[in-house]
């Protein structure tokens, strides 16, 4: 059966093709793709068929199963990367106004943060800007951010550190100062200051794999990522986060996520911000 969409498609895309895609992305990345994502899947993968010269999904999906390089493109195509600087700003306010002052008052000199699912880098750069702009004598501390994502394409954007000027100009003045126009920029871009980029390590990581990460970590921020996994997998990932966090460490999730299955491990601070119990 070919999925009906109300308009003619360039390639036939059957129910079986969609089931095959859902099985493959689950196998490759552990992602549970919603049954409502048919149009999104078709639109994104049709680009790969055109680029490679395939005329049908059966042949393309068989190629994905047997080609490691294309399986990366396949996965990159199906991961969503919608973000902006200081998204859900209350999370950054909590860190700057409550959490950072608390741990620094305890004499802490080494601060480690993991941005899990960092997309195109706005989140980890927002964390670095928050630290540098709102913590007194921030440069005196050993502060590092690990930023990871499954998608290799977005990590290239992160490492470049080049962002649309209109995104930057929407920020408060105290945050805009961390960007500048350089020779690497076109007329519509600005580049993050090297001091920020030096505090962030960008790495490709599938959350379903082993994590080459040593704790304890002070903050793990994993927003709008868990929603792509089934409930048992979400619970396992949160358990693993807890093992890496320091005592009273901070876990920050996205606005539609919660810790209902792991509530005994964390204290809710509100607005999807949690402290390890």
79 is in an annotated binding site: no
81 is in an annotated binding site: yes
Give the span between the Cα atoms of 179 and 134, in whole angstroms: 16
66 is in an annotated binding site: no
Give the span between the Cα atoms of 75 and 26, in whole angstroms: 10
206 is in an annotated binding site: yes
Contacts of 97 (CB under 8 A, 6+ apart): 134
Angle at 13 between CA 39 and CA 40, to 5 degrees: 15
87 is in an annotated binding site: yes
Active site residue 149: yes
- Point out the catalytic residue in the list 149, 151, 197, 218: 149
> Is the bond preceding residue 32 a cis peptide, omega within 30 degrees?
no
132 is in an annotated binding site: no
Q: Which residue has the tokens 């390890």?
A: 276
- Point out the catalytic residue in the list 44, 134, 248, 275: 44
Contact call for residues 124 and 158 (beta carbons, < 8 A): yes
Active site residue 44: yes
102 is in an annotated binding site: no
171 is in an annotated binding site: no
Binding site members: 81, 83, 87, 123, 149, 206-207, 223-224
Active-site annotation, residues? 44, 149
Which residues are annotated binding-site positions for S-adenosyl-L-methionine? 81, 83, 87, 123, 149, 206-207, 223-224
């Amino acid at each position: 059966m070919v999925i009906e969409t109300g308009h003619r498609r360039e390639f036939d895309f059957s129910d079986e093709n969609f089931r095959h895609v859902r099985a493959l992305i689950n196998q490759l990345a552990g992602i549970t793709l919603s049954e409502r994502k048919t149009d999104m899947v078709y639109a994104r993968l049709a680009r790969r068929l055109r680029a490679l010269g395939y005329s049908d999904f059966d042949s393309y999906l068989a190629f994905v199963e047997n080609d490691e390089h294309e399986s990366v493109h396949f996965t990159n195509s199906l991961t969503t990367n919608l973000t902006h600087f200081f998204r859900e700003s209350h999370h950054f306010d909590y860190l700057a106004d409550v959490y950072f002052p608390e741990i620094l008052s305890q004499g802490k000199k080494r601060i480690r943060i993991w941005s899990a699912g960092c997309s195109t880098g706005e989140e980890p750069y927002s964390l670095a800007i928050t630290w540098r702009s709102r913590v007194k004598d921030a440069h005196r501390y050993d502060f590092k951010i690990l930023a990871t994502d499954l998608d290799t394409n977005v990590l290239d954007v992160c490492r470049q550190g080049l962002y649309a000027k209109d995104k930057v100009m929407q920020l408060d003045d105290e945050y805009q100062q961390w960007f500048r126009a350089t020779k690497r920029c076109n007329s519509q871009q600005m580049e993050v200051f090297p001091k920020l980029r030096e505090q962030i390590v960008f790495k490709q990581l599938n959350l379903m794999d082993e994590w080459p990460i040593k704790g304890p970590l002070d903050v793990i921020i994993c927003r709008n990522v868990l929603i792509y996994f089934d409930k048992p997998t979400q619970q396992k990932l949160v358990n693993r986060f807890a093992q890496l966090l320091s005592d009273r460490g901070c876990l920050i999730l996205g606005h539609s996520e919660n810790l209902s299955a792991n509530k005994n491990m964390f204290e809710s601070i509100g607005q999807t911000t949690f402290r390890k119990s």
